[in-house]
Homo-oligomer: A and B are copies of this chain.
Amino acid sequence: MRNNFGYTAWIFTLGTELTQGRVVNTNGSYLGRRLTLLGVKVLGIASIIDDIELISKYLTVVLDEKPKFIVTTGGLGPTYDDRTLEAVAKALNRKLVLNSEALEMVKRRYEERGMPLTPERIKMAYLPEGGVPIPNPIGTAPGCWIEHRESVVISLPGVPREMEAMWESWVEPRLKRLLPLIYIAEAVAKVVGVPESSLAPQLNRIAHEYEKVYLKSHPLGEELGKPVINIYVMASGGDSSSASKLAQEVLNKVIAYAQSLGGSVAVLELKVS
């Protein structure tokens, strides 16, 4: 795939529960999908244990690539191993400071429950210097938005309901204002009866001919002894019809080729977001 998007991103889904395989990384796929549909090319998704040195090391390596966005999830809570913002501060070479707006958010949450502020609760209001707190409509820990040179670092909690609510109500509206309007057309064709290795040379040629279209084959195993491959096509454009037309054009070439090799083809999906 050639890069048809100007903006890139990395996602850091933090937490030892992920590296230990106790939790499947649905935050990563949620954010990967949302960013892709905004026209952002996600270069990678990294889960790292709750270790401030290791997290800040990889944040630093990734920041050197100057992605437009780095989104982190997890590690914003009140416990001893919730140290994501410390790692972000370290990677950005900024101090971690008590943010009065964030403190107000945290205070309000506990006051609603008749609970006092404690050091563990106040901890959640410390943000890297220059950070803007992101309100958490469901839980207690605010998120954080920091602009740093070419990049924006966005930190969200790890609880999926909280993360998604904050993404949809606060983060995504801001990203939409920053990013050009883009339409993403996607198509999936299911090919039965042709091995992936037979499709490969022509898919390769089509991928190189249409450098702005993303094309990928996914072998799904066999049905009744015949190989089954899903072919995914993604095209983008400034309007819905140009994106859709481009995806359709590539899809038609793939279908014609698979049929010429004796495959039976079904279009499973063709949509524009």
Interface positions of A (Cβ within 8 A of B): 1, 11, 16-26, 28-36, 41-51, 54, 58, 61, 77-81, 110, 113, 115, 118-121, 124, 138-140, 159, 161, 195-201, 203-204, 207-208, 214, 216-221, 232, 234
Provided the pairs A17-B218, A22-B33, A36-B21 are in contact, do residues A54 and B44 lie with their beta carbons within 8 angstroms? yes
Q: Within the assembled complex, what's the spacing in Å between the Cα atoms of A196 and B32?
A: 29
Is the contact region of chain A dominated by helix, strand, or loop, or is it mixed?
mixed
Chain B positions within 8 Å of A47 at CB level? 28, 44-46
Answer whether A46 and B49 are a contact pair too, CB < 8 Å, given A21-B29, A25-B29, A80-B200.
no
11 pairs across A/B with beta carbons < 8 Å? A11-B19, A17-B216, A24-B26, A43-B54, A44-B46, A77-B196, A77-B219, A80-B208, A124-B197, A159-B220, A159-B221
Among B19, B25, B35, B197, contact of A121 (Cβ-Cβ < 8 Å): B197
What B residues does A217 contact at CB under 8 A?
77, 79
Interchain CB contact under 8 A, A43 and B48: yes
**B17 and A21 contact, CB distance less than 8 A:** no
Checking B17, B32, B78, B216 against A197 with a beta-carbon cut-off of 8 angstroms, the contacting residue is B78
Q: How far is the CB of A182 from chain B (nearest CB, A)?
A: 14
**Residues from chain B with Cβ under 8 Å of A196 in the complex:** 77-79
A24 touching B21 in the complex, CB below 8 Å, given contacts A43-B49, A79-B200, A216-B16 = no
Can you name the residue of chain B whose Cβ is closest to the Cβ of A33? B21
Best-buried of A21, A81, A159, A161 by chain B (most CB within 10 Å): A21
Name the B residues within 8 Å of A16 (CB-CB): 1, 214, 216
The answer to whether B20 and A204 touch across the interface, beta carbons within 8 angstroms, is no
Q: How far apart sit A22 and B271, CA to CA, in the bound complex (Å)? A: 14
Q: CB within 8 A of A81: which of B50, B201, B216?
A: B216
A200 touches B78 (CB 8 A): yes
Q: How far is the CB of A35 from chain B (nearest CB, A)?
A: 8
- CA gap between A48 and B58 in the complex, in Å: 14
Please give me the residue from chain B that is nearest to A36 by CB atom.
Answer: B20
Minimum CB–CB distance for A137 against chain B, Å: 13
Q: Is B232 in contact with A17, judged by CB distance below 8 angstroms?
A: yes
A105 CB, nearest partner CB in chain B, Å: 14
A24–B25 Cα distance when bound, in Å, is 7
Q: A19-B42, A21-B30, A121-B197 are in contact. List 4 more A-B contacts (CB 8 A).
A: A16-B216, A23-B29, A42-B49, A159-B221
Docked pose: A216 CA to B19 CA in angstroms: 13
The contact of A19 among B43, B48, B118, B203, by CB within 8 Å, is B43
